[in-house]
Amino acid sequence: MNSAQHNQPQPGRRRYALRTLLCLVLGIAGIGTVNAQSGQQHAAISSLQQHRQASLQEKLYLHIDRPVYACGDEMWFKVYNVDGSLHRPLDMSKVTYVELLDADQKPALQAKVAMKDGVGNGYFQLPTTLQTGNYTVRAYTSWMKNFDPAFYFQQQVTIINTFEQLPKQEAAKAKGYTLQFFPEGGNLLAGIASNVAFKISGSQNGKGAALAGQVLDQDGNKVVDFTSHKFGMGRFAFTPQQEKRYTAKLQLPDGSTLEQALPQVNESGYTLQLADSTDQYLHIAVRSMGKPDEQVYLLGHTRQQVISSERALLQNGRYVFRVTKADLADGITHFTVFNTAGQPVSERLYFKRPTNELALQVAAPQQQYSLRDKVSLELQAASQTPANLSMAVYKLDSLQLQPQGHIASYIWLESDLKGAIENPAYYFSDAGKADHQAMDNLMLTHGWSRFKWEDVLEKEPSKHAYLPENHGHLLLGKVTHKSSGKPASGIMTYLASPGHPIRFYNAQSGADGKLLFELKDFYGNKDLVLQSDFTKDSTYHFELLSPFSSRYTNEAPAHLHLTESRAADIAERHLQVQVEHAYYGGYRNRFHTPGIDSSAFYGQPSESYLLDDYKRFKVMEEVMREYVQGVQVRTRGRSFHFMVMNRPYKAIFRQNPLVLLDGVPVFNIDKIMAFDPLKVKQLDVIASRFFHGPLSYEGLVSYHTYNGDLGGFELDARALMQAYDGLQQKREFYAPAYDTPEQKSSRLADFRNLLHWAPNIRLDPGKGEQVSFYTSDQPGTYLVVVQGLTASGETGYQLVQLKVNGPVAQKQ
């Protein structure tokens, strides 16, 4: 890390706070010799913990059922939410926002997915209006909107519109390449041997290129050769000389060369080198140049948890720290060197492989199956805590291959590093686990993304604009003066959703005119009505704000290249979708809403009248006067008023109660009295003082129409009424069964590409689970993908291939 990239320390309190906190934290670790009182030690730990709690990091991972889709397909996904520090399931946010972004990063589809115990699942129905191309699926919570959108989950998928002619493929252009250099520790110091990592990428696809080159000095003399090791990444060592400039010359496949200057050689500064040469220890050599010998601090943290710290005096500009590997936490440890002034001057990442991975076993009794055959898989997991898993089974072809990432590679690597990682699953494969150089090159070329020291050292805690949705979906609104457009503060507003069950909320606008409503268990697409009491307030403009993030990263999906060799598989995908919709469309649209309280928000009423049980009157006044005992109708001047009985005190209220029609408040009693009573099915009365949010009412009178749609009642023109998508309703995955001979001989074609999707598989310790499904009429090779997480944070992933054979040709 180049010291020039860091903010310089501010004078006064900020600098003092930096030095003090560092000394305290280093002293607590017990490795160095920092002097600190026990009270100060405790305060330092509290400060660090408070920061982590105030800016708690959530990590989301989506298991998406497959990598390639045709328009008309469903895209199924399972959401896992973990604590960003501990990697354990996190039951904080009750809503996850999932979006499908096109190449221009514009949302094509959006969904709000309900979460429980840190998991949830949902789907996208891919319409035929989508264009062929690569898309990005991204997911985040309300709390995550407080931080950089680079922290959101993002994964590329391919969607092919088989109803349209495929876009013409542009003629192949000459490939361009980029070459980047990353000196270990951040700096090149004159006269000090340095390791320099590099990354060679193709400009069209961004993937690493296996090329070689040379480093030349300013006089054209060769200094060192270099060649990439894996995915275009590699390293070389050399000792830069004072006042010399160095250039790399890369040999390109067409015989030409690419020249790229190395970073500047500094005559003063700091650097470090990490040596992983023993089984027990890491050796971290800190060097300074052009500086007097001074105290330096080495601090190691893993996802905001301090795990190693020590201070030492540089002697002749050098000191070697020894770090015990057993003390390190699993995953990426970020080593930072601070000088005496408290400035971070050099850094290095190190990866320790997780020691407690979830060992998943997926056993199939046979590897080859017939068409419409039953497949029963046995799942086992060696874990001390329950495991929550998801499974997808899809067909392999030229369009979709094995996934290049999974839950372990994302949580341990991708979510904590800057930039895209090519084939992250490689680092967790058998070959990748043995390839220590490839992992270390990855650490050298990708910077840490989730932690900044200035966030810890800020005297004032971070202020976050978005709250976590601990109980339900938070809907933001805004009230402004209609004439000036300025925020209107202190306005009591009412939000209602007509229907069954009725929903009613209230909120008062803040100084910025903002409103906040908590919509717990609000599923499906419903109308929302937002208004104020227009009998008291002036005219205002109401607005409901989108809960989806409007911030995006600069990473657009790679351009899709489809060749003629894939035409047969594309045609097959088109046929698969059409057959599914034609023969199984009625089964594919089954929804269910999770068990939620279906009673009205006000609970059990004091009185409830089913009007069909009584004589039906054509005038509402007669209904109220004849058999609604808890409400007295009075006229004042030329207006009607309701007076509700206060039964607990055997008295009567003098002010109008809260009057609702299908949950929508009606403040003008004359309007409800003019409403047709034959459209009302039920009438409820609360004959006591009723409290709701910050308000109290002198009773409540609630009218319910037969369809819950206001029955043609005209709302005030100043009210806002709009359709709103709540939490996504649960959709059932359907696949035909072939248990009986009649089912197996059915003439309905079955061309499923996705054989099975099971988002909620639970494995208890010491117990297995059997998952069964049926093959289709499509022979070929199918991939079983199982992945998930235990309650203690162990990640597991397993792939199994199944072969489905076609009918045997009869001999003539």
Q: What is the pLDDT of residues 598-630, one digit of tens each?
A: 788 999 999 999 999 999 999 999 999 999 999
Residue 171: what pLDDT?
54
Residue 343 pLDDT: 80
Q: How many domains does the chain have?
A: 4
Looking at the structure, tell me whether residues 229 and 301 fall in a common domain: yes
Query: Which is it for strands 651-652 and 639-646: parallel, antiparallel or unpaired?
Result: antiparallel
d(CA 632, CA 623): 11
DSSP 693-718: TTEEES-EEEEEESSSSGGGPPPPTT
Same domain for 305 and 187, yes or no, is yes
- Alpha-carbon span 305 to 459, nearest angstrom: 19
Output the CA–CA distances (angstroms, integers) from residue 542 to 479, 506, 515, 722, in the order listed.
5, 14, 10, 11
- H helix or E strand, kind and range, residue 762: strand 754-763
Structure tokens at 409: 């590679």
Q: Is residue 506 part of a domain?
A: yes
Which amino acid does the sequence have at 377?
L
Residue 639: per-residue pLDDT: 93
The reply to whether 149 falls in a domain is no
Asked if pLDDT for residue 243 goes beyond 80, the answer is yes
Give the per-residue pLDDT at 311.
87
Cα distance between residue 214 and residue 247, in whole Å: 8
Cα separation, 133 vs 561, in Å, equals: 9
Domain boundary among the residues 521, 544, 567 is at 544
What is the Cα–Cα distance from 133 to 350, expressed in whole angstroms?
37
Q: Are 137 and 109 in contact (CB under 8 A)?
A: no
Quote the pLDDT of residue 203. Answer: 63
Does residue 371 surpass a pLDDT of 90? yes
Q: What pLDDT sits at residue 170?
A: 61
Among candidate residues 496, 513, 514, the one with its CA nearest the CA of residue 505: 496
Closest C-alpha among 498, 427, 403, 422 to residue 205: 422
Q: Percentage of the chain with pLDDT > 90?
A: 74
Both 520 and 633 in a single domain? Answer: no
If we measure between CA atoms, which residue out of 680, 689, 679 comes closest to residue 655? Answer: 689
Same domain, residue pair 539 and 622: no
Report yes or no on 92 lying in a domain: no
Q: Which residue has the tokens 């060097």?
A: 287
Using CA atoms, how far apart are residues 715 and 551, in angstroms rounded to an integer? 36
User: Which domain range does residue 711 map to?
Assistant: 607-725
Residue 331 lies in a domain: yes
Mean pLDDT, the chain, rounded, equals 88
**Percent of the chain surpassing pLDDT 70:** 90
* CATH number of the structural domain spanning residue 617: 2.170.130
Q: Does residue 189 share a domain with residue 306?
A: yes
Specify whether 524 is located in the same domain as 620: no
Residue 226 and residue 299 share a domain: yes
Domain boundary among 320, 352, 384: 352
In this prediction, residues 739-763 reach a mean pLDDT of 95
pLDDT at 808: 55
What integer pLDDT is reported at residue 599 of this predicted model? Answer: 84
The reply to whether 485 falls in a domain is: yes
Q: Residue 197: what pLDDT?
A: 96
Write down which residue in 352, 371, 391 finishes a domain.
352
Structure tokens at 559: 């351009």
Six-digit token string for 631: 């409400």
Residue 280 lies in a domain: yes
Q: Quick one: average pLDDT of 83-91?
A: 93
Name the phi and psi angles at 545, rounded to 5: -95, 145
Based on the fold, state whether residues 212 and 345 are members of the same structural domain.
Answer: yes
Does residue 148 form part of some domain? no
Same domain, 694 and 614: yes
Q: Please write the tens of the pLDDT for every residue from 628-649.
A: 999 999 998 889 999 999 999 9
What digits encode the pLDDT tens for the residues 400-433? 989 999 999 999 999 999 888 999 999 999 999 9
Q: What is the pLDDT of residues 187-224, one digit of tens each?
A: 999 999 999 999 999 866 678 999 999 999 999 999 99
* Pair (621, 540) in one structural domain: no
Is the confidence at residue 4, as pLDDT, over 70?
no
Considering the domain architecture, whether residues 190 and 326 belong to the same structural domain is answered as: yes
Could you read off the pLDDT of 141-191 as tens digits, one per residue?
999 999 999 999 999 999 999 998 877 766 545 558 999 999 999 999 999
Report if residue 692 sits inside a domain.
Answer: yes
428-462 pLDDT per residue, tens = 999 999 999 999 999 999 987 665 656 665 666 67
In whole angstroms, give the CA distance from residue 478 to residue 494. Answer: 12
pLDDT tens-digit map of 383-401: 889 999 999 999 999 999 8
pLDDT of residue 15: 37
pLDDT digits (tens, 9 = 90+) for 31-48: 333 333 333 332 223 445
Q: Return the closest-CA partner of residue 624 out of 667, 690, 680.
A: 680
26 pLDDT higher than 80:
no
pLDDT of residue 111: 98
pLDDT score recorded for residue 43: 29
